[in-house]
Amino acid sequence: MKDLASLCRGYTTLSEMQISLLMRMSVVFPFVADLAHGQLQLYVRPREANRLLVAAQVQPHTIYSIGVTDETGLLRQSLEEPLVVDTFHDGQRRRGKLEWNYGAMIDMYTFAIHDGPQVIAVVSFEVDGERLSIEGYHHLLDTAVDVLEYARRGVPPEPWRPLTASDGVIITDARSRIVFADAAAQRIYRVLGVGSLRGCYLYDRQLTQHVMRETVERDRPWQKEQLAGGMILIRRELTLATGGVVKRRIVIVSDVTETRAKDKEIRIKSAVIQEIHHRVKNNLQTIASLLRLQARRSPSQDVKAALEESINRILSISVVHEFLSQQGSEDIDVQEVMRHIFELVAHNMADSQFTIHTEFTGPRLILPSKCASSVALVLNELVINAMEHAFVGRRSGTIGLRVEDGPDNWHLDLYDDGVGLPEDFAQRPPRSLGLQIARTLIEGDLGGTFELANDPRGREHGTHAYICIPKDQPNPTDD
């Protein structure tokens, strides 16, 4: 939607004070559109004569709208909107009929926004009254207009957030006597043993006797959570007052019993999943410890080396499960996993006299856990390979990870400043199990590409492992 202030500045002669007034009132546009169950449009007069500018348009969340196009920023001929023109002329509220489709008519209501004696804008509601057939609908419409007037002084957006189709709406007069209650509100209170809401007073014992617990949020004093008759209700009370005198109250009642039950179920499942990841991590670390004991007992250096490689692979997977056990999300920060892998490899493989430096550049890369496990194994293999071959005869070295976020793919560049690849590396038959694992995981499991190459500046500047991973990864639950 085009910006209201920009449209007014670009097309009209309204002052900054008048534009600021319209901006303040626009905070409640979604709420009043929902309350009136109709499309809201804000009209202003452009510099061009005999035209009207649609400066804002809001669709309600409380009814289903078919084939509605956004007309914000559209210049209309004044002849097309006679009700709006008449309201601009004398500032009076009007009601008429509008042909919405060929042969189909809907109700149109117009209301003026004044700046002193001047009408600076007109708000229209387009409502299909015959389909709505809400008893006492005029109370909703009058309240919507009162809310617009109340918003002139500036209101915070949170209390006036939009409604949903399942919200119950109750409206009272100045003495807190209920003059309107929609079907959703009647249905909620019927469960609590209240036959009819109209005519009751908002704080009657009849309406509150079933409330067993009430919680008021400190930062949301207008909202309460109530436990009543086995239901959990969110009750939002909005008071329209001028000069300390209450004009009317609006109460929004939402039954969130099922939502709270589902939230509780999700929290329990999340806690169980986190505990499973914690146990998997512990089991993997136990297996690594057993292999480490076996390596110490073996007299063969080849067996020890093979077991150490297996230990690092197991621990790299355990790193992912450790992250999953500490957070509720199933997504993993690859850079954090990489830091842990560097620590593991440096601890298990690096000589005490060797110093390894690490670098990370690029945006944070968040991957789903299945993808992250494969990437963790690949990075583990590449780091081990670099530690074994890149820094022969040296006392220090650098290994870095560069991340780029492309439109369809993630690009990873794991590099070192070691001795580089031999000139005939591409012609040699593949012998490294680690590189075979890395290629298989990237190309087979993740559907990406994997390439090893010397630095473009020359072999003496080190090696790069270029990894490309498609963002569109299959969901493991699809099968």
166-255: CATH homologous superfamily? PAS domain (3.30.450.20)
Q: Higher-confidence residue: 230 or 235?
A: 235
SS3 state of residue 336: helix
User: Is 173:246 a contact under the CB 8 Å cutoff?
Assistant: no
Mean pLDDT of the 302-319 span = 79
Asked whether the predicted pLDDT for residue 207 surpasses 70, the reply is yes
Strands 355-361 and 396-405, how do they pair? parallel
- Alpha helices (H) in 411-457, listed in sequence order: 433-439
Q: CA-CA distance, 155 to 111, in Å (whole number)?
A: 20
- Alpha helices (H) in 242-368, listed in sequence order: 257-297, 301-326, 334-349
User: Is the entire prediction scored with pTM above 0.95?
Assistant: no
- CATH number of the structural domain 1-133: 3.30.450.280
User: Is 396:355 a contact under the CB 8 Å cutoff?
Assistant: yes
Angle at which helices 301-326 and 257-297 cross, to 10°: 160
264: left (phi over 0), alpha (psi -120 to 50) or beta: alpha
| 1-133 matches 343-479 in fold | no
> For residue 8, what is the enclosing H or E element?
helix 4-11
Task: Give one DSSP letter per residue of 171-187, joined into a string.
Answer: EE-TTSBEEEE-HHHHH
Q: CA-CA distance, 61 to 170, in Å (whole number)?
A: 17
Q: CA-CA distance, 411 to 159, in Å (whole number)?
A: 44
* Token couple for 424: 């005939």
User: Is 336:342 a contact under the CB 8 Å cutoff?
Assistant: no
- Name the nearest CA neighbour of 40 among 62, 21, 19: 62
Residue with tokens 């400066």: 55
**Domain regions of the chain by residue span:** 1-133, 166-255, 257-329, 343-479
What's the one-letter identity of residue 373? S
Using alpha carbons, list the distances in angstroms from residue 172 to 34, 250, 255, 327, 470: 18, 7, 20, 46, 57
Give per-residue pLDDT as tens, 161-197.
999 888 999 999 999 999 999 999 998 888 888 878 8
Q: Minimum mean pLDDT among 14-18, 148-152, 319-323, 422-426: which range?
A: 319-323
User: Is 171:136 a contact under the CB 8 Å cutoff?
Assistant: no
Q: Higher-confidence residue: 350 or 134?
A: 134
Percent of the chain with pLDDT over 70: 92
Over the chain, what is the mean pLDDT? 85
* Token couple for 445: 């499991």
Q: CA-CA distance, 181 to 249, in Å (whole number)?
A: 12
Asked whether the predicted pLDDT for residue 348 surpasses 70, the reply is no
Give per-residue pLDDT as tens, 351-380.
667 788 888 888 888 877 778 778 877 887
Give per-residue pLDDT as tens, 320-345.
677 667 665 567 777 777 787 777 76
Using alpha carbons, list the distances in angstroms from residue 122 to 43, 86, 229: 5, 10, 45
SS3 state of residue 357: strand
SS3 state of residue 322: helix
DSSP 8-state code for residue 429: P
Q: CA-CA distance, 317 to 321, in Å (whole number)?
A: 7
pLDDT of residue 230: 81
Q: Which architecture characterizes domain 343-479 according to CATH?
A: 2-Layer Sandwich (3.30)
Residue with tokens 């956004």: 70
DSSP 8-state code for residue 201: B
pLDDT of residue 476: 47
Q: Both ends of the chain: CA-CA distance in Å? A: 40
> For residue 45, what is the enclosing H or E element?
none
